[in-house]
Structure 1
Amino acid sequence: MPADLAVIGLGHLGLPLAQAATTAGIGTLGYDPDPHAATDGPLTATELRRLLAAGFRTTADPTALGRVRTAVICAPTPLGEDRALDLSAVAGAARTLAAQLRPHTTVILESSAYPGATEEFLRPLLEAGSGLTAGRDFHLAYSPGRHDPGNRTHHYANTPKVIGGLTPACTEAAAAFYGRLTDKVVRARGPREAETAKLLETNYRHVNIALMNEMAVFCHDIGVDLWDVIRCAETKPFGFQSFRPGPGVGGHAPAVDPNSLGGGAHSLPLRMVELAQEVNGRMPHYVIQRCATLLNEHGKSARGARILLLGVTYKPDVADQTGSPAWEIAARLRELGAHVTYHDPHVPHWTVHGRPVPRADSLYDAASAADLTLLLQHHRTYDLQGLSVKAQLLLDTRGATPTGAAHRL
C-alpha cells in the first residue's frame, strides 16, 4: 500500500492517528527514530499486529517522508523541571521532515505546544530546512490531539477535530485530511486559537480535579461523605459537570501555565492553574498521611507495614503509566520504612527510582496478607467487593468501592 500519510512520532498521539487513518483506508507510514517506539506505544500487541496486517508500516528512513501528501508531527512535548514544554522532539521532527519536504504537502502539528508555536517555532524550522514558504508552497496547520486511551465511548471517528491553518487554504487542506477520519471538523480562526483551545481543555480538567481534591480533604476533615455529595450534585441537569478526586493527576497533558511556556507566550500567569498544580501536587503526600493515620488507628506503624498498591497506571484499563502518582506514593512509603508490593493487570514489571517493586501474583492472598491495601487505580478486572472482604484495611482513593466497604479518600 503506497503511503499517503506520514505520522512522525509513534507515541500516545501518533499510533492512534495511524490506526484511525489505516482503518479509513489511507496508506499510512509511521516514522520514528526510536526502533522500539511502536511496540512501546499505547496499542496492545494484538492491536499493533492488526494494524500492520492492514498495511501500516514503520520506518526509520527519513527519505520516505518525501513521498507523502500529508505529514502529521506527533512528537512528545513533556514538561521540564521548570514546567516549560520541551519542544526538542518537535524540533528534531521538523528538521528531519524539512529536509524531505516537497511542495503542496500538508504539514500538521498535533503535539501539545504553546500558543504561537506553529508559527514562531515550527514554521521557521520547516522553511529553513526546505527552502519552501509555508502558506504558499506547502500547507501548515495545528490540530490538538484529543485521544483518550481506554475510552469505549469516544473514539477517533466521533470526536470532533479542531483545526487552525496558517491561511484559509491551509485550514481547508487540513480539514480535507481529517474529514476522512472523523465525523466533524471544527475550523479555528488560526493556529494560535487551535493551540490555545488545547491549553484551555487541558487546564479545565486540572482545575476541576483540583477543586474536587480540595473538597475531598475538606469533607474528610468535617466528617462528610464526599462521594455522596458528588452523587447528589451530579443530578443537577445544568451548570455542573462531575469530576472525581484522586491520589494525583497523571497523563500526557499536564496543567500548563502560559507564563512558563516560553516562546511566544507573553501573558500574565493563570493564577487558577498555578493553584491547581499546587493542589494536585499535594495529593500523593495527603494519601500517605491517610495511610499512616489508618495504620496508626489500628495499632500499626508505617515503618515495617506491608502495603499493597492496586493499579499503578495513570488511568483505568490501560498500561500507560505517564505521570501516574503511584511512583511518588510508592517512593514516599518506602522512605517511611514500609514494605511495598503492587498489583496491576496491565503492568507485569514495575520499578521506582531504579528499584523493582515486587508484584503480587495472587491478588486476594496479597490483600489478605497486607496491613494496608491502597487502591490507586480502579481497573475493570478488580472485584472491589471481594477485595474489601479479604483486605485487612482498604483505602480507596477513587471512590469505587461499595459504600461502607472501605475507607475512602
Structure 2
Amino acid sequence: MTVLSSSSEILLSKITDKTAHAGIIGLGYVGLPLAMTVARGGLTVTGFDIDPQKIVDIDAGRSYIEAVPDTVLRAETGAGRFRATTEFSGLAACDIIVICVPTPLTKYREPDLSYITRTCATIAETLRPGQLVVLESTTYPGTTDEVVRPILEKTGLTPGQDFFLGFSPEREDPGNRDFHTSSIPKIVAGDGADAARLMEAFYSLAVDTVVPVSSTATAEAVKLTENIFRAVNIALVNELKVVYEAMGIDIWEVVDAAKTKPFGYMPFYPGPGLGGHCIPIDPFYLTWKSREFELPTRFIELAGEINSAMPRHVVGRLAEALDVHCGKALSRSRVLVVGLAYKKNVPDIRESPSLKLIELIEERGGSACYHDPHVAEIPRTREYMALKGRQSVALDEPSVASFDAVLIATDHDTVDYASLARWSPLIVDTRNVFARRGITGGKIVKA
C-alpha cells in the first residue's frame, strides 16, 4: 500500500470530507461546466477568468454556455458553492487549481502554449504547500512534465512533496445533450503516486467514472488520439466524397448503407471543413512533438491537407452550380451562408469553416452574408478580423429571394429548410440536410 506524504494526506482528507476549495482558471466551454460539476459534487469553487464580462454575466445569473443552464448557475452561486472573479490573488486560498485555458496553433501550425505558461506563472505567484495543480487544456505529450512543472518549481517548492501535479483531458462536446461533464468518463493521471491518488479522489467527487492511467504524458496522448481518430476518418470520407462525386455517386447514401453492417464499420460524414477547438488543431500538436523524435506523421498531415481543402472544394462546387443552374458567375452573385457555428445547435464559431467559406466567396468577387439562429454577430477572431461585426440576416422570403444561392454550411435544427427550398433559386447543401428531411423541389445541389 502506498504511503502518502503529510501534505498529500492533508489534502486527501480535505477532498474526502469535502472541505477542499477548488479554483477553475478559464470559464469557457470547458471551465464553466467543470466548475458547476465540481460544485454539485460538494466542493466550494472559485472561477477565475481575465474577461470581466463573464464575471458580470455570472454575477447576474446569466450563463453564456449552453451546457450550463441559468437555473444551474443561479443554484450554485445562490448556495454559495460558486463564485467568479478576475482577481487571481484568490488562487492562494484554493487547495486544487484546474487550468482550462486555450491551446491554439500559431499561423505556422505550431503549438501556442502562451496561455498555459502565463497561467502557470500566475499560479506560481501564490503557490503554497498542499496544493494540487491540474492541467485540462489539450496539448502534446510531455507538457505537464516539461512546461508546467519547471515553472512551478521556480518557486522553490518540490513537486510530489510540497505541491502536486496532474493532467486530465477535457472531453466536452458542445451541443451533445446525451452526455454531460459528470457522465463522461474522466481520464486522470498524476505526477507520482501521491498526485495520482489525489487526482482520483478529486474527480471522483464530480464524475461518475474515473479512468486512471500511468502518467501525465499518457493522459495527454489519450486526448490527442481521440481527436486524431476523428480527424483522419473525416478526411477519409471527405476524400471519398470528392471521388464518388466525380462518379455520380452520393456519398451520404453510401455511408448510410455501409453503417447497416453491425461490425467492423463506424460511420463518419463529410462536410465543408473541420471546426471547433479540437479536431482541426489537436492533431498538429502531435505532429509538432514528433519532430523531436525525427518521426514523420504522414497520416495526420495528409488528413489535415484534405480537411483544409474542403472549403475551397465547396466554393468550387458553388461556382459550378451557379454557372449551370443560374447562368451566373460567382463574381456577380450574392450568396447566403446558412450556419456560422462549426456544428449544429450551438453558438460556437471556433475554427468554423463557414468563416473560410465567406472569405473564399468574397476573394472570388462574390458577395456573402450569413444567417445563424445562434450567432447574431460575428465576434473578433484571430484570423478573420475583416468579418468582425457582420450580423445575421433574416431568414424570410424577401431576404432569401434576394440571394442568387443559399449555401448550407451548418445544419441547425431550427432552420425552416422546407421554406428555403421554395424561396431560393439555388441551394448548395454540404450537410445532406434536405435529403435527410425528405425535402425535394427547387434546385438542390450536394457539395
State the TM-score bracket (shorter-chain normalisation): over 0.9
> Which secondary structure does the structure 1 equivalent of 2:399 belong to?
helix
Measured after TM superposition, the shift of residue 264 of structure 1 is 9.6
* Structure-1-length-normalised TM-score: 0.94
Cα separation, 1, equivalents of 2:290 and 2:321: 47
Q: Select 1:338's aligned residue among 366, 373, 384.
A: 366
Where does residue 295 of structure 2 map in the other structure? 268
Distance 1:264 1:81, change over 3 A: same
Cα separation, 1, equivalents of 2:249 and 2:392: 35
Where does residue 48 of structure 2 map in the other structure? 31
Where does residue 396 of structure 2 map in the other structure? 363
- Give a deviation string over 1:1-24, Cα, whole Å, max 9, x none: 997110011222211211222233
Aligned amino acid, residue 135 of structure 2: L
Cα separation, 2, equivalents of 1:401 and 1:11: 33
Q: Select 1:310's aligned residue among 321, 338, 363.
A: 338
Aligned amino acid, residue 354 of structure 1: A
Measured after TM superposition, the shift of residue 229 of structure 1 is 0.3
* Structure-2-length-normalised TM-score: 0.86
> Which secondary structure does the structure 2 equivalent of 1:291 belong to?
helix
Trace 1:136-151 onto structure 2 (pairs within 5 A).
Answer: 136-151=161-176
Measured after TM superposition, the shift of residue 350 of structure 1 is 2.4
Q: Conserved in 1, the CA contact under 8 Å of 2:287 and 2:300?
A: no
Measured after TM superposition, the shift of residue 44 of structure 1 is 4.7
Cα separation, 2, equivalents of 1:266 and 1:291: 43
Where does residue 147 of structure 2 map in the other structure? 121
Aligned amino acid, residue 51 of structure 1: L
Aligned amino acid, residue 195 of structure 1: E
Cα separation, 2, equivalents of 1:207 and 1:218: 17
Where does residue 33 of structure 2 map in the other structure? 16
Cα separation, 2, equivalents of 1:128 and 1:160: 34
Distance 1:160 1:259, change over 3 A: closer
Aligned amino acid, residue 363 of structure 1: D
Where does residue 111 of structure 1 map in the other structure? 137
Q: Conserved in 2, the CA contact under 8 Å of 1:257 and 1:270?
A: no
Q: Select 2:419's aligned residue among 386, 397, 406.
A: 386
Q: Conserved in 1, the CA contact under 8 Å of 2:111 and 2:285?
A: no
Q: Conserved in 1, the CA contact under 8 Å of 2:67 and 2:174?
A: no
Q: Conserved in 1, the CA contact under 8 Å of 2:347 and 2:375?
A: yes
Measured after TM superposition, the shift of residue 112 of structure 1 is 1.1
> Which secondary structure does the structure 2 equivalent of 1:36 belong to?
helix
> Which secondary structure does the structure 2 equivalent of 1:180 belong to?
helix
Where does residue 10 of structure 2 map in the other structure? none
Say if 2:247 is the partner of 1:209.
Answer: no
Cα separation, 2, equivalents of 1:348 and 1:278: 31
Distance 1:146 1:400, change over 3 A: same
CA-based RMSD? 2.3
Measured after TM superposition, the shift of residue 246 of structure 1 is 0.5
Unaligned 5+ segments in structure 1 are none
Q: Select 1:169's aligned residue among 178, 186, 194.
A: 194
Deviates more, 1:281-290 or 1:249-258: 249-258
Measured after TM superposition, the shift of residue 34 of structure 1 is 2.8
Cα separation, 1, equivalents of 2:86 and 2:365: 46
Distance 1:3 1:367, change over 3 A: farther
Deviates more, 1:160-169 or 1:383-392: 383-392
Q: Conserved in 1, the CA contact under 8 Å of 2:36 and 2:72?
A: no
Q: Conserved in 2, the CA contact under 8 Å of 1:83 and 1:256?
A: no
Where does residue 57 of structure 1 map in the other structure? 83
Deviates more, 1:340-349 or 1:32-41: 32-41
Say if 2:110 is the partner of 1:88.
Answer: no
Distance 1:30 1:358, change over 3 A: closer
Say if 2:326 is the partner of 1:288.
Answer: no
Cα separation, 2, equivalents of 1:279 and 1:128: 43
Distance 1:114 1:46, change over 3 A: closer
Aligned amino acid, residue 378 of structure 2: W
Say if 2:440 is the partner of 1:407.
Answer: no
Q: Conserved in 1, the CA contact under 8 Å of 2:140 and 2:286?
A: no
Unaligned 5+ segments in structure 2 are 1-17
Aligned amino acid, residue 383 of structure 1: D
Give percent identity, aligned residues only: 37
- Give a deviation string over 1:94-121, Cα, whole Å, max 9, x none: 1111221222211110011110110111
Give the number of equivalent residue pairs: 408
Cα separation, 1, equivalents of 2:67 and 2:229: 33
Trace 1:185-334 onto structure 2 (pairs within 5 A).
Answer: 185-253=210-278, 254-258=281-285, 260-262=287-289, 265-298=292-325, 299-334=327-362
> Which secondary structure does the structure 2 equivalent of 1:157 belong to?
coil
Aligned amino acid, residue 203 of structure 2: Y
Measured after TM superposition, the shift of residue 82 of structure 1 is 1.8
